[in-house]
A and B are shown apart, each in its own frame.
Chain A
Amino acid sequence: MFGIGIAKGLAVTFKHFIETYLDDLKYFPRRYSELALESRQSVRGRGLFTVQYPEQERPVPEAFRFLPFLVYDIQVEGDTTRHVIRCTACGICARVCPPQCIWIVRAQDEKGKPLTAPAEFHIDIDVCMNCGFCAEFCPFDSIVMDHEYKLADYERQVGHIYDLQKLLRPAGYYARIRPTQYAARQAAKREGAAKEG
């Protein structure tokens, strides 16, 4: 009979409609709780699927990459704390960067001998393609891909050229957003040091 096909299709949409409310009952009365968010967003979820951003946020996985940042360690010696930038200005990140958006000035001592530290570090985030090569190939684990994506703003000419100050984050932050990677790289570092020692 003409119309059966359409009716069958409508049955599918009706099923979707009902499922949302059945699912709501399951989480009654707190249908927007953390638990509900997690299970409704998973492969086993059914019915309503919306993340109530900005009240709720969909957490990003550890591997998530947005823009790079530079890591510094906090060293405590007696009463003084020092911030030690891990970057040695070896330039691998600048050379592997596909759109060439990283600019590094290597520091020099008074005689003009190159030092293993950056004097300037710029990233043009409006050219960056978030590919993650810089972090992947950094031998010192000093450039890492950030999770922060809420970066929308009203101006780009100055604010979107990140300099050294804007790029620096403590190692603790790194350990917090990428625990597995941090642990693995630290272990590799210790192993390397042990071999040398």
Chain B
Amino acid sequence: MTSPSEQRLHSLMLPDDWRNMLATPINLVYNWGRMYSLWPLAFGLACCAIEMMATFAARFDLGRFGAELMRPSPRQADLLIVSGTVTKKMVPQIVRLYNQMPEPKYVIAMGACASAGGPFKEGYHVVSGIDKFLPVDVYIPGCPPTPQALLEGFLRLQDKIKRQSIFEVPWYRKQERNEAIPIPLHGPDLIDPRRISAIKEELARQRAAYAQGTSPGEQGSAVPSDKAFKLPVWDITPLPFAQALAERLNQAIGDGCVIPEKDILVVQPARLVEVATYLRDAPDLDYDLLSNVTGADYLGRDPRFEVVYHLYSTSRGGGPLVLKARVPEENPELPSLVPVWPSANFQEREVWDLFGIRFTGHPNLKRILLWEGFHGHPLRKDWREPYYEEPVKPFGSRWPAGHYQSAEARTPYNDNVSYPLQYPPGADWDPELWSPPEEELPVVDYRDLPNLHISTDKIVVNVGPQHPSTHGVFRMVLTLDGETVLHVEPVVGYLHRNHEKIGERNSWLMNMPYTDRLDYLNAMGNNLGYAIAVERLMGIEVPERAEYLRVIMAELNRVFSHMSFAGFLTNELGSAFTPFLYAFKERELILDLFEEASGSRMMCNYMRFGGVANDVSEDWLERARYLARERLPRKLDEFEQLLNENEILISRLKGVSILTPEKAVAYGITGPILRSTGLPYDIRRVEPYSIYDRFDFKVPLLHNGDLYDRYLIRILEAREAVKILNQALDQIPKGPIQTGKKAWQTRVPAGEVYARIEHPKGELGYYLVSNGSSNPWRYRVRSPSFINLTALSEMCRGLKVADVIVVLGALDIVLGEVDR
């Protein structure tokens, strides 16, 4: 058999032995050239991207293989490393990037998620592997693969290239060249244009079955009667303080507006705004921080939905005041609290998106995590995703008769998609005739800027979701007047991995490794917050040694998080990697300790309810002590010497994007950014958890509230973290690391809890509701990155485009936590 290219070579009238003689040296040179000049696209999706960056950093240095140049533009790149979870919202962009890359081009699927959906496969918003759309050359298993595993995958790709022949490769042949891959569309669910006829056939089949009455048809028609849907009930006798506050509110606003239940206040929906305003404005109450807003679905109860508000007072400190408003199943609606606390903005949109509760008076009530037009509201208990199996885990199909069957094989479309028969409601949906609606551009109320002299036309500029300085898959729609920013519309959800839906199906313990993947730079902190929340519900104590280990891990994580923050921020200022590389060097050493203690570098899964997973050795402690006493202080000095007085840094950061403490609190900003405005609000002090009350540390405070203070406060906090580390490492006692026996099944008494910790990014809270069974009824993560983003537009108004990138960098968001 001779291939067409060989025939062409024959037509050159070369004798056979000549051709053979030529082919080998040509291929040798040709393959050698491609092998050692693979240029990856600067493109990262999720947790795996951090390990990919570590592979590019000092310790593993992918540059040694000729892949030094990470190209920000697909036109210049020939390797697409799909590093992380591919979501339905993101996949059109990935396909577009791939189409824009010139041949020859290669794809590496890095990690379980990119290969086949990974641990998030069952989620309704996750694509089951990038190979559904792109041809993949090398798959790297692991969650995440270690940098050495990625290097191994890279070597496999080089092997593959080595075996190719210039006479066989498709990209020099007109008739065999790949056509551009059609861009997936966003309809009621993700639509692959290549499969439209198959979708149509299946829809016709379903309609016929529905007409004959053999199929349940639409979503949500079947109410589960399973024991997993036992409604949570607990004692609601009001506590004295709630009783007193309710009486006061009833007197001030009108009888019956508030009913106390245990330690919460149930507010009449019509009076919500009045009650909220009163609580905020009464000088002795002063609930100025609306920290958490979320919904809950009590399917089978009337009224069915509940919206929960957690209020704090930054002046008084202490625990939360919980408000609840209940709304019925039919036309659920509540007044919006955005006029009272702007921090409710994104969170109310999220409740609308995931629960379908409308907020009247909300300035911009659109879907936030999913796209406009997605069918259904996924966090409703009766909404089922395509891969739905059972209401709760463990699934009966796994054991004792666990015959393997892939999730795809169970669905009619052979993929993680489902389409309603009618869309929009009332009309049969035809995927062929349907075209996605055009995206609305943001409407801005025009404000005259005082320093604006020339009037120009407004233009809209899109940044992201694939952009080297958006910290992952984050998109901003900027409205500009010339070079001046009028409005920034953050668009999130490109990494929405359905943590909460999966979390409500998981057992309590199963959620622990999932929390690792929220803020994937701070796995230990995420573990700690979740463990504390569940322990509070269970009412169990943690042994001394375990408490110390938890603090040590969390603070090591904080040091690293703040150092890499400085690295990322200066990258965005154009410092060409030096601080980033220095930060990642220290990160490697910290991760070595984590890996030894927990077994994994990034996804530690270290905490357990009532303790920690593994003990550490004396040698481990000795190394940690050296790190905390000698190395980290020295490195932080170096960092300050490197950056603090740098004139370029100062001129870019000082006096830019000033935030007042009042505004920061109103927008729900917590963590270092709040403290850089001059408000000493650190949860480790105002509502101590774990054993933080034993350590001697300061809460660093700066007063300008500009970008420079946001940078500096992180370095100061890293120093305080080192101080805590030193004390904890000196005082750590010997003893057990776990209360009671480690159990794989945990029953948690019925009740609800909101527990929060001081995360490097701000207030990380877990709101959990238990119905007394082995799975949470409601599992909600209040992530600091997401809520800090609410103020992005406010912080950017009036700045230049280049500053927007820096403002975003100084917010220090992690997309795993923003989109959850």
**Residues of A bordering B, CB below 8 Å:** 2-6, 8-9, 11-13, 16, 41-44, 49-54, 57-58, 60-67, 89, 91-92, 94-100, 102-106, 114, 120, 122, 124-133, 136-137, 145, 149-156, 160-161
For the complex, give the distance between the alpha carbons of A109 and B173 in Å. Answer: 59
Q: Smallest Cβ distance from A112 to chain B, in angstroms?
A: 12
Q: Are B121 and A5 in contact (CB under 8 A)?
A: no
Q: Are A91 and B603 in contact (CB under 8 A)?
A: no
Chain A positions within 8 Å of B60 at CB level: 50-51, 53
B156 within 8 A of A: yes
For the complex, give the distance between the alpha carbons of A126 and B600 in Å. Answer: 17
In the complex with contacts A5-B646, A103-B403, A127-B596 CB distance below 8 A: no
Chain B positions within 8 Å of A6 at CB level: 646-648
Q: How many pairs, one residue from A and one from B, have CB atoms within 8 Å of each other in the complex?
A: 244
Chain A positions within 8 Å of B120 at CB level: 99
In the complex with contacts A63-B596, A92-B744, A98-B119, A131-B160 CB distance below 8 A: no
Q: List B residues 133-182 near A (Cβ within 8 Å).
A: 136-143, 145-146, 148-149, 151-153, 155-156, 160
Query: CB within 8 A of A106: which of B393, B400, B404, B614?
Result: B400
Q: Smallest Cβ distance from B654 to chain A, in angstroms?
A: 12
Q: Are B744 and A96 in contact (CB under 8 A)?
A: yes
Q: Are B58 and A50 in contact (CB under 8 A)?
A: yes
Q: Are B160 and A91 in contact (CB under 8 A)?
A: no
In the complex with contacts A8-B641, A132-B605, A152-B152 CB distance below 8 A: yes
Of B109-117, B277-285, B302-310, which binds chain A?
A: B109-117
For the complex, give the distance between the alpha carbons of A64 and B403 in Å. Answer: 30
The 8 closest A-B pairs by CB, nearest first: A5-B645, A126-B116, A152-B153, A103-B402, A91-B399, A131-B513, A98-B510, A129-B119
Query: CB within 8 A of A125: which of B141, B394, B598, B614?
Result: B141
Q: Smallest Cβ distance from B155 to chain A, in angstroms?
A: 7
- Provide a sorted-by-A list of 19 A–B residue pairs whose CB atoms are within 8 angstroms: A6-B648, A8-B645, A43-B626, A49-B59, A50-B59, A50-B61, A61-B596, A63-B595, A99-B120, A104-B398, A122-B404, A126-B141, A128-B141, A128-B143, A151-B141, A151-B149, A152-B152, A154-B138, A161-B404
Q: Smallest Cβ distance from B294 to chain A, in angstroms?
A: 23
Chain A positions within 8 Å of B506 at CB level: 98
Q: Are A63 and B398 in contact (CB under 8 A)?
A: no
For the complex, give the distance between the alpha carbons of A114 and B399 in Å. Answer: 12
Chain A positions within 8 Å of B509 at CB level: 96, 133
Q: Smallest Cβ distance from A188 to chain B, in angstroms?
A: 13
Q: Are B578 and A149 in contact (CB under 8 A)?
A: no
B686 within 8 A of A: no
Chain B positions within 8 Å of A16 at CB level: 582
Query: CB within 8 A of B403: which of A49, A65, A120, A156?
Result: A120
B801 within 8 A of A: no
- For residue B403, which residue of chain A has the nearest CB? A105
In the complex with contacts A13-B578, A94-B398, A131-B513, A160-B115 CB distance below 8 A: yes
For the complex, give the distance between the alpha carbons of A3 and B115 in Å. Answer: 49
For the complex, give the distance between the alpha carbons of A100 and B589 in Å. Answer: 33
Chain A positions within 8 Å of B22 at CB level: none
Q: List B residues 23-69 near A (Cβ within 8 Å).
A: 58-61, 64
- For residue B644, which residue of chain A has the nearest CB? A5
Interface mask (B733-769 → A, CB under 8 Å = 1, otherwise 0): 0000000001010000000000000000000000000
Query: CB within 8 A of A64: which of B514, B600, B650?
Result: B600
Chain A positions within 8 Å of B647 at CB level: 2-3, 5-6
For the complex, give the distance between the alpha carbons of A154 and B645 in Å. Answer: 50
Q: Are A95 and B399 in contact (CB under 8 A)?
A: yes
Which of A62, A98, A100, A131 has the most C-beta atoms of chain B within 10 angstroms of its own C-beta? A100
B699 within 8 A of A: no
B623 within 8 A of A: yes
Q: Are A154 and B139 in contact (CB under 8 A)?
A: yes
B101 within 8 A of A: no
B395 within 8 A of A: yes
For the complex, give the distance between the alpha carbons of A50 and B399 in Å. Answer: 46
Chain A positions within 8 Å of B115 at CB level: 126, 156, 160
Q: Smallest Cβ distance from B432 to chain A, in angstroms?
A: 30
Question: Told that A105-B403, A153-B138, A153-B139 touch, could you supply 7 new A-B pairs with CB distance under 8 A?
Answer: A63-B596, A64-B595, A127-B116, A128-B112, A129-B112, A152-B153, A156-B115
